[in-house]
Amino acid sequence: MISIRNLTKYYRTEEVETTALHNVTFDVKPGEFVSIMGPSGCGKSTLLNVLGLLDTAEEGSFTFNEKELLHLGEKDKSAFRKAHIGFVFQSFNLIDELTVYENVELPLIYAGVGAQERKERVNNMLERMNLSKRSAHFPQQLSGGQQQRVAVGRALINKPALILADEPTGNLDSTNGNEVMDILCELNEQGTTIIMVTHSAHDASFSSRVVYMKDGMIVTEKLQKEKAAELI
Ligand SMILES: Nc1ncnc2c1ncn2[C@@H]1O[C@H](COP(=O)(O)OP(=O)(O)O)[C@@H](O)[C@H]1O
Ligand SMILES: [Mg+2]
């Protein structure tokens, strides 16, 4: 599904040049649940942002279902992202002025889905995320776990093949964090491919493979046999 070859990315500021990704080669098969771990600053978010077409890299290649994406123009990238990728961030990134319902509905409006279908899909998603009663609430009126469930609902509403999650439980206590992990596991069981950055060994234990990064490079990978066997 995803194939990354010799990906290198630099950040340049006036004073310094940082090699955020160094010669990264990485494949993800459909249906996998991959965790990315490693110390702060090692390039995890950069890699996820490149995978999500939110950022680009200078060298190497990145194909998604055999289509080269690295050199697409902004407009094509944005269209590809909306069609195939859902993003979940550590800080939820909900729109505070919109209700729960409206936050989840927004990607459907951007995608040009009609009013009746939007209503059905949003209500189904809120039910699935156990948020039906919170539909008219604003993000600030919700617990962190509820907010992250809204964010997951928004990420899923366009039925993406790939979910990218950057420390999705990083701002949550363990109860709320576990709720979010339950949803991600359920999604993965239903076939959605997930790539998740995490600092939590517990969260990583739910994935089929753990990739460890250091200094912009992938240093080791560990297949979690029991989980991986389910893919075969
Ligand atoms: N926008 C940016 N401008 C300059 N340097 C950046 C930027 N974003 C990240 N970096 C640098 O790139 C490296 C990797 O960062 P990041 O991918 O955020 O790491 P992680 O998510 O693993 O903590 C770090 O050295 C960081 O300081
Ligand atoms: Mg990060």
Most ligand 1 atoms within 8 A of CB, residue of 12, 42, 211 to mutate: 42
DSSP E strands, 176-227: 193-197, 209-214, 217-223
What angle separates helix 144-156 from helix 115-128, to the nearest 10 degrees? 140
Residue range 166-208, pLDDT digits in tens: 999 999 999 989 989 999 999 999 999 999 999 999 999 999 9
Which residue lies with its CA nearest to atom 25 of ligand 1? 41
In ligand 1, the atom with minimum distance to the C-alpha of 47 is 17
Q: pTM for the complete prediction?
A: 0.92
pLDDT exceeds 70 at position 230: no
Q: If you average pLDDT over residues 46-67, what whole number do you get?
A: 94
Cα–Cα distance for residue pair 207/194, rounded to 1 Å: 9
Residue range 94-107, pLDDT digits in tens: 999 999 999 999 99
In ligand 1, the atom with minimum distance to the C-alpha of 48 is 17
40 lines ligand 1 (CB under 6 A): yes
In ligand 1, the atom with minimum distance to the C-alpha of 42 is 22
Cα–Cα distance for residue pair 88/150, rounded to 1 Å: 10
19 lines ligand 1 (CB under 6 A): no
* Whether the Cβ atoms of residue 32 and residue 192 lie closer than 8 Å to each other: no
Q: Residue 60: is it exposed, middle or buried by C-beta count within 10 angstroms (0-12/13-18/19+)?
A: middle
147 lines ligand 1 (CB under 6 A): no
39 lines ligand 1 (CB under 6 A): no
